[in-house]
Chain A
Amino acid sequence: MKRRDLLKGMAIGGVAGASGLGGFPGIWVKGGTALAASGDIPVGVLFSQTGAVAVVESTLHDACMMAIEEINDSGGIQGRMLNPYVEDPASDPATFSDRANRLVRRDRVVSIFGSYTSASRQAVLPVVEGQNNLYWYPTLYEGRECSRNVMYGGAVPNQQQQEFVPWLKENFGGRFYLLGNDYVYPREENNVCRKILGDIGGEVVNEEYVPMGHDSFSSVISRIRREEPDVIFCTLVGDSDVAFQREYRSAGLDPERMPVASLTRSEVEVSAIGGDAAAGHFSSAPYFMGHDSPENERFVEAYLRRYGSDKVTHFVNEAAYFQVYQFKAALEALGDAEVTPAAIRDAAVGLRFQAPQGQVEIDGNLHTHLWPKIGQWQSDGQAKVLVESSERVAPEPYWAYEGQICTAEGLQQA
């Protein structure tokens, strides 16, 4: 894409290529001099565009690139252009690690925007922590992490659940059936859900995990029939979520009596499920495409114009978008001071930005204060926002664990 100017194709000869590049201006030559020589600001863009999770992750790439180009088109950051170094880690953790290394150590980027899955974030962590670089991670995740080198733009469990679960109990009843894929994210979310239900007098009738990619739910459906829960609290992801919702519909279950309440289902999953099968069910997220705000109108309009009117925006690519603007705000706050990853991080804390979802703020613990919403899916594939939280909700990645708190000094144990 933008970055790999084809001139470098001449360098394919490897070592011999170096001499071939001699005639080009310094900006073409890779390495640590880019920042000083050109005044550009090198940033890494590390989202999978091929492989298993590319369907979702490439939309994060698109949103991130859109923000970068918008910033450059409007004159850059104090006259300096963002110079994106784009990599495709192909949904593979080992490749994530390798490409992150390339960005941090060779291309000397001052920040990386990247990744969707927890596994890929974990793969990149040793690289950014080892070099004290900064990783802007836009996805909701399970919490219980407190790195000083990651800017977490997505929701942690307390932000999605502390209003959602009591609201569900009030409207449908307190008997929850917890259903998720078997990995760390659903288990953590369910730990939090159990704790909230315990506090408000609800109960868990069953907690069930299916393997990743599992797509046959007839036995799960018959267990659900038998238990007759009030709410199916769902943390299935990707194909499993799609398959489950379709089987739910063909089994003839009624969303008004037994709705699926999801923490992971966005416009992307709903378009795969089909609007009719998803209609009437609920999701909790800081952002829905149908959210009504001038910033969101602009964002959606620009996104569809650029990538096609059949595309959707959702709560992860919205974060991928606004994180680039948070980065910009941090650089502006830095002014003439030296641009290093650590300086950017320190300047970013406390900054506010008017994102499509509302005004977000970066906490001292590097997570983001967000605006949780409860949406009900409609047959056109969009969510109708039923409840908006009245204030920004603070991120507490260790919310369910007493005595542990993530602060600006890292994790504190009481």
Chain B
Amino acid sequence: MNKGFTVDCIGYALFAAFVLLLMPWMVDFSGYELNSYARYLALGVVAAAVALSWGTAGILNLGQALTFGIGSYVMAMHLKLKASASQPGGMPDFMVWTNVESLPWFWEPFRSLPLTLAAGVLVPVIVAGLLGMFMFRGRITGVFVAIITLSLMLAVQLWIINEQGWTGGENGITSLAPLELFGWSVDTYSLPFYYLAAGCLLAVLALGLVLIRSKAGLVLRAIKDDAARVRFFGYDVARYETIVFSASAAMAGVAGMLYCLVLEFASPTYMGLSLSLAMVIWAAVGGRESIVAAALGGIGVNMAEGRLSDLFFDQWTLMLGVIFIAVVLFLPRGLYGLLDGAREMLSARTGAVRENAAGAGKVVPPTGVASEGKTD
């Protein structure tokens, strides 16, 4: 537990340095690239969300894009109302087109920024909380959780496409106003916006790590290994599962809000099948056992996608596919597994050195910490 905590801290610090210092430097602080990288960070957040429920508690959520999409729509609704302020009745253009008479009641709260930000987290939490209570109290596990989450996501997506008078339908919610935060009109191509995204990512990861390293996290890991035994110990398994499921939804909601800001529109494709499955792949590539590694997976795969599509116009999708197959075949624990394996090998060796050194009565060299740092 203690050692795990140290590894977490070092990994987190390295990751923070990567995101805060190395990434903006890599792109020379140019506006276009910063915008793209901010998008990758948002996708990193949602990959971490997948890993939080999958890696920690063994709940594979194939419908993670549902809560992600909800976050993006919440943000889009606020920005759309701002953009429509000059229209008659403050109605968004697509409502006027589809002959909606007045603003639907559930749009009203999104005039306020604080309520919007709260809703971007709380609506996903409520959705996941209700769904989790229903599923986990019914002791639904494994592949059935995957099926239910996936179906619910597709159902909501269909509803959004069909109710175009309320949701913008197939085209989504477009022509948005820029976000205003404490009088700062957010320019999504600027360094401050990049750091806003990075700040959200790091804050969310820190909270996730706190949850994982708390007592609840320990119970969750036990549930992953053997839920029945934990239940016999008297723990309310369903409650713990619902908590982690909702926490993961909250993370996805934050990611969705960021994603909408970067792209300046919300679309039903944000809760689409392919994006949702891609999120699971990112988490698998990074390593589902660690949310930091999963976030890195989300960022890395999307950077690779951007880079490969730039260099190999025709074959990039094929190349990405080959990479995914290779990871699943040869690195079932993802990059994290690779690094963790290397760390264990190193610490076994330094452990041997340590024993020899202790035998000779010398001071232990501090290589252990350094090698752990490199491996996460």
Contact = CB atoms under 8 A, between A and B. Distances in A.
Nearest to B267: A93
A93 B36 contact: no
10 contacts: A9-B311, A86-B313, A88-B309, A93-B267, A98-B263, A106-B30, A130-B264, A183-B161, A183-B169, A184-B169
Interface in A1-43: 1, 3-4, 8-9, 11-12, 14-15
Given A14-B26, A126-B264, A98 B171 contact: no
Most buried by A among B171, B274, B307: B171
A126 B36 contact: no
Given A4-B310, A93-B267, A126-B264, A101 B170 contact: no
A271 interface: no
B32 interface: yes
**For this complex, into which size category does the number of interface residues on chain B fall?**
35 or more
A122 B264 CA distance: 10
Most buried by B among A1, A94, A182: A94
Interface stretch (B53-61, B172-180, B291-299, B362-370): B172-180
B200 interface: no
B26 A15 contact: yes
B214 interface: no
B311 A4 contact: yes
Interface in B238-290: 259, 263-265, 267, 269-270, 274-275
B162 A105 contact: no
A302 interface: no
Given A8-B311, A101-B35, A184 B171 contact: yes
Interface in A173-189: 182-184, 187-188
A102 interface: yes
Given A4-B312, A9-B311, A87-B309, A182 B265 contact: no
Given A14-B307, A92-B269, A126 B314 contact: no
Contact of A90 (B162, B175, B310, B317): B317
Given A93-B269, A105-B189, A212-B161, A1 B314 contact: yes
B89 interface: no
Nearest to A106: B32
Interface string A369-380: 000000000000
Nearest to B35: A101
A1 B164 contact: no
Interface of B: 26, 30-33, 35-36, 39, 94, 97-98, 158, 161-162, 164, 169-172, 174-176, 189, 259, 263-265, 267, 269-270, 274-275, 306-307, 309-314, 317
A118 interface: yes
Contacts of B98: 184, 187
B32 A97 contact: no
A212 B269 CA distance: 13
Given A97-B263, A119-B172, A144-B97, A182 B164 contact: yes
Contacts of A193: none
Given A1-B314, A14-B26, A126 B161 contact: no
B173 to A, nearest CB: 9
Contacts of A15: 26
A70 B175 CA distance: 36
B174 A122 contact: yes
A125 interface: yes
A93 B265 contact: yes
A327 to B, nearest CB: 22
A218 to B, nearest CB: 21
A354 B269 CA distance: 39
Nearest to B176: A126
A211 B161 contact: yes
B34 to A, nearest CB: 10
A126 B265 contact: yes
A123 interface: yes
A216 interface: no
Interface string A93-115: 11001110110011000000000
A119 B171 contact: yes
